[in-house]
Structure 1
């Protein structure tokens, strides 16, 4: 890889991907790969470790690769060097051409011809004998012949365009939907499936590390041909040396054909070993296969991703590091669990379990100590409420992002009666006010680094208090779930009296504090075992000087079965260790180690501190009243 780094010393590879997971196999510590990706929690975590090598693109929804390439905030990063994407498309090629960007990936048309199920048969030519017995035909011409078979649409991804036909009624149902669609009908071959990520260079084919493919395994998926994982150790358990020779024969010949047609870089093959020992090609992935990232992490050096980039630049490639151990498996969204994942599409991956040794005891059995993710579900606030959290957690006037500072109006005079100067400002209020202040003081907010932006907010007493933050999040949640507004659901009179109730209706957020949220007219205590998103952790009568009532709002809960195992919360706070500028909106996790014990006895993690040094937990310990509350809907 030194050859790659020497060549790209002044010309970084820019990897553009919608999902940071696809880039996880790159060694960013070398400083010669720059990633452009969606602004997500996982991506931010990586950016914290490598701030100079990742550009995050903010958007209300995750952007596709071509949209990332077209986004104005990506322009500077895209100029750092040639572009590499996970899977090339005609749209990506068009965008790169319009922007005069050098795209390393092979032709999208070639990739489609090789990968798509109908066109692939013609491309294979004499090598179509590697496929199981098959025919290309219109769907309405297929007859039931009293034995199961496979139907594949031309484009079939993650098992969604592949159908196992077991009886005549299943065939008829499919034919009624798309009678004239061209499909590939293939004999059903029983046996274990294997996969590998090989490399095509200008002068040789580098075979990949063979792994056993975990396909259609319930309850991780309910699609019989959806791939949910790979296990490198299992492959070496199941395959004899002669088996490996037979497998390599198919893999290398496919690679040589791709090489003759102008392909460079990585490709993947899926090959099934029939019960009689014969091997058949069932899929070609003309792109970076999803397993390449974790394979590279396991390899650590001479990785398949390194070889992929070298080959695409016509740099001589050494063989990749052999791999005989390791595995990963993903839970996908199924019909059974999709209610728990309202913001994810059916068949999307949810949880990934990765092991450096192995995943499977045999081709049908997950090892018993694997934490079965199908028993693990989570619930979150609505997308609208999560966006409100994100706006306070990742406030920006340019590229750099900061959290809105903590504000305690007991320490400041409220100027002009404005919400924004009383710790009660909406994110729109805050943007509007700092624009006014910046113009008065001739400050260019767009060029202000994150550290200076945070100082600007603090020095002008602009921030949010815990009840103000909770108000805006809860209000968004209620509106998203068609339950009215928070102001319409709260009763202010028990806390503020008749006059206060009148003002509360007029300016709800200004009259909302922890006592209002905690009052029995507005919320009711619930048990730890019943906790769910939008619940509140109330702390009042906290011992100590300058310590005031406090509230946390739950934005996510993870369950094992029906029992909560993790509580994810959002709040705004100033710890004694935060200094003048490091306080503000942040998030934490309470791991439920024993649901029979009170909240402070669980494991609290926030801001890199756990339990003893966690000052949020310390407030919980000192609270005269500590309880989980749920809003009463009027």
Structure 2
């Protein structure tokens, strides 16, 4: 490999550096360009063949390719390479190819090693795949393609898939006529694939297509849909290379190989080279195996599989799956090489399915590392995206959907329960971050009654409801609208709440936080100590006293009868940060609750705030209760001259900071009488 790469240097460009770590970084002709983060920096220490790009947000592969630092780095490699390939055509490798990536590489005269993006799309997408397979579609379960409105429910559950899906998001298990009717009403003319439901367990492996043969990789048991790692029953969350060897008998193994060979040879005839993965289901109580999915790209498990292989290497003629991938892409003959066999090891992914503090994630990571697991932490925010990748040298599954002792050890570390001494304030915050609706938990959306101008309604209908109120109202509305909440995903629950105007506004959220604080400190309710000085007459004052939650706003809290201003150096948890007169019309007020303070040298260093808010970039559904920080870089300066960070955004990209800067007045306040 050393000699081959010396003559054929490869530059792997990837959003997540972990994807490129299936090969030794000591080879000076193997280069990586990726995003800078804590994990990547650790990997890149003292490595001149790795370029990490610093940016305000994590860049996608196509954005990395267009970055000036990337172009400069590639040009430097090209001019200094002792390669026999065309120095003016640097060889680029990516995790998953797209037409956009192909165009960028062509425009820059870079040679892209990945097979055609169009071919990959045709093979991967659920409907186009059937036509592509041709007579090999016989390996699929019984299926048909039609438009949604023509699909009928025949009292047997089935799988419905849209053409495109990712980690199970486009796959629906239809179990009732009601569920199907909802889908048909929403997508009447969308083309769908309907497949017979097969009850069984999933197996997968990473295979390599060369110009001469199809190399079958190590088979692993595919871990799917298990809590607490995900709340999506179809989401792929890991692989176990130990369990697969205990499952398949000789007859089943021959059938498995037949399916992989057939798919691989079909890809080979269309000039595919390199890795592809398959998911194959073993039907319960039978020997039947069915092809479920083809991943026309480098599967995500390749890196760890290759690392396990390196640890099991016994001779020089053995190679890893990732090495075979590189050789195939370079059209090199390696018939004399043998893929390293592994019969143990596993990895599992903890996907974002509930709100966790950064501190909680770090605690999980630390605790797992103490148990000798390798843990890779990701800075992802989207629902069902990777938060932690946990790797074990031993198997973690006892049998189908059942963890062994090692697996249970991992799962136990992820199950974060509120401790007995959790404060009332923290309980209310955690409740807003994890509303229990249907079979899942969801972050409370933001809702401001300012636009709707509903008057005299229940608190829960005007952005002033408690977490319990919101959960109960969602149940009531679902019964009225005949919506089965238990069948909805986290994303659909969030949409349901937003479309029914169920959420919390900034002052409503802070009201309940302060109410909890007053209960802790004085064993009273907030309504017993607050005033409504802006009420103009006796009737309004009576209404405010009778309905304090609904009438509590930022201006009421900011009034000197309710709060006092606090110097930045004296800020403490339970305080709040108020904006008055922000926005282009100077008519918007906002409040954020100070959840806790990081102290350094007996001085406040980082303000950890939480609030209910909506940024313009959030779109229709991605808003709600969220956290941010303000790092105090100079205590002598005002709060706007410190470093604000929220959703990985700073400065003008941070909408909260932009609004704070536009305010006529911003200050730290503290509730009086506490």
What TM-score, normalized by structure 1, do the two folds share? 0.61
Q: Distance in 2 between matches of 1:262 and 1:229?
A: 30
Query: CA offset at residue 169 of structure 1?
Result: 1.1
Query: CA offset at residue 551 of structure 1?
Result: 5.5
Paired residues of 2:574 and 2:670 also in contact (CA < 8 A):
no
Q: Distance in 1 between matches of 2:100 and 2:40?
A: 24
Name the residue aligned to 2:606. Answer: 553
Paired residues of 1:231 and 1:327 also in contact (CA < 8 A):
yes
- Deviations 1:228-254, CA, capped at 9 Å, x for gaps: 010000101111122211111101111
1:46 counterpart = 2:35: no
Q: Distance in 2 between matches of 1:553 and 1:338?
A: 15
Name the residue aligned to 1:312. Answer: 329
**1:282-301 alignment to 2 at 5 Å?**
282-300=292-310
Q: Distance in 1 between matches of 2:605 and 2:332?
A: 54
Paired residues of 1:38 and 1:58 also in contact (CA < 8 A):
yes
Paired residues of 2:597 and 2:604 also in contact (CA < 8 A):
no
Name the residue aligned to 1:356. Answer: 393
Paired residues of 2:200 and 2:283 also in contact (CA < 8 A):
yes
SS at match of 1:324: coil
Q: Distance in 1 between matches of 2:606 and 2:70?
A: 33
Name the residue aligned to 1:20. Answer: 17
1:241 counterpart = 2:237: no
Query: CA offset at residue 34 of structure 1?
Result: 0.8
Q: Distance in 1 between matches of 2:297 and 2:250?
A: 28
1:91 to 89, 100, 118: 100
Q: Distance in 1 between matches of 2:241 and 2:354?
A: 29
Query: CA offset at residue 31 of structure 1?
Result: 2.1
Name the residue aligned to 2:414. Answer: 374
Name the residue aligned to 2:240. Answer: 231
Name the residue aligned to 2:348. Answer: 329
Query: CA offset at residue 221 of structure 1?
Result: 1.1
Query: CA offset at residue 8 of structure 1?
Result: 2.4
Name the residue aligned to 1:207. Answer: 216
Query: CA offset at residue 293 of structure 1?
Result: 0.8
Aligned in 2, Cα 1:525/1:141: closer, same or farther, shift over 3 Å?
closer
- Deviations 1:116-173, CA, capped at 9 Å, x for gaps: 1100000110111000000011111100110000011111110001111011111111
Q: Distance in 1 between matches of 2:342 and 2:205?
A: 11
The CA RMSD measured in Å over matched residues stands at: 3.3
Name the residue aligned to 2:268. Answer: 259
Q: Distance in 2 between matches of 1:556 and 1:61?
A: 21
**1:181-580 alignment to 2 at 5 Å?**
181-275=190-284, 276-300=286-310, 302-317=319-334, 318-334=337-353, 344-369=381-406, 370-372=409-411, 373-376=413-416, 519=570, 522-523=571-572, 535-540=597-602, 552-553=605-606
SS at match of 1:322: coil
Name the residue aligned to 1:457. Answer: none
Paired residues of 1:524 and 1:632 also in contact (CA < 8 A):
no
Aligned in 2, Cα 1:361/1:186: closer, same or farther, shift over 3 Å?
same
Name the residue aligned to 2:558. Answer: none
Q: Distance in 2 between matches of 1:77 and 1:267?
A: 29
Aligned in 2, Cα 1:336/1:133: closer, same or farther, shift over 3 Å?
farther
Aligned in 2, Cα 1:11/1:206: closer, same or farther, shift over 3 Å?
closer
Q: Which runs of 5+ in 1 are unaligned?
A: 379-477, 484-514, 527-531, 541-549, 558-567, 574-584, 586-630
Paired residues of 2:569 and 2:604 also in contact (CA < 8 A):
no
Q: Distance in 1 between matches of 2:291 and 2:116?
A: 23
SS at match of 1:192: strand
Aligned in 2, Cα 1:343/1:156: closer, same or farther, shift over 3 Å?
closer
Name the residue aligned to 2:170. Answer: 161
Query: CA offset at residue 39 of structure 1?
Result: 1.8
Q: Distance in 1 between matches of 2:357 and 2:126?
A: 29
- Deviations 1:39-72, CA, capped at 9 Å, x for gaps: 222211211242x121112222111111111111
Q: Distance in 2 between matches of 1:632 and 1:11?
A: 63
SS at match of 2:251: helix
Query: CA offset at residue 517 of structure 1?
Result: 5.5
Aligned in 2, Cα 1:241/1:297: closer, same or farther, shift over 3 Å?
same
Name the residue aligned to 1:450. Answer: none
Name the residue aligned to 2:59. Answer: 63
Query: CA offset at residue 18 of structure 1?
Result: 0.6
SS at match of 1:127: helix
Q: Which runs of 5+ in 2 are unaligned?
A: 78-89, 314-318, 362-378, 419-505, 512-565, 576-593, 611-628, 635-642, 644-667
What TM-score, normalized by structure 2, do the two folds share? 0.58
SS at match of 1:184: strand
- Deviations 1:282-335, CA, capped at 9 Å, x for gaps: 000000000001101111151111110100001123231011110011111125
Paired residues of 2:143 and 2:195 also in contact (CA < 8 A):
yes
Q: Distance in 2 between matches of 1:121 and 1:230?
A: 26
Name the residue aligned to 2:131. Answer: 122
- Deviations 1:86-139, CA, capped at 9 Å, x for gaps: 011111101100110000000111111111110000011011100000001111
Aligned in 2, Cα 1:93/1:534: closer, same or farther, shift over 3 Å?
farther
Paired residues of 2:573 and 2:597 also in contact (CA < 8 A):
no
Query: CA offset at residue 336 of structure 1?
Result: 7.3
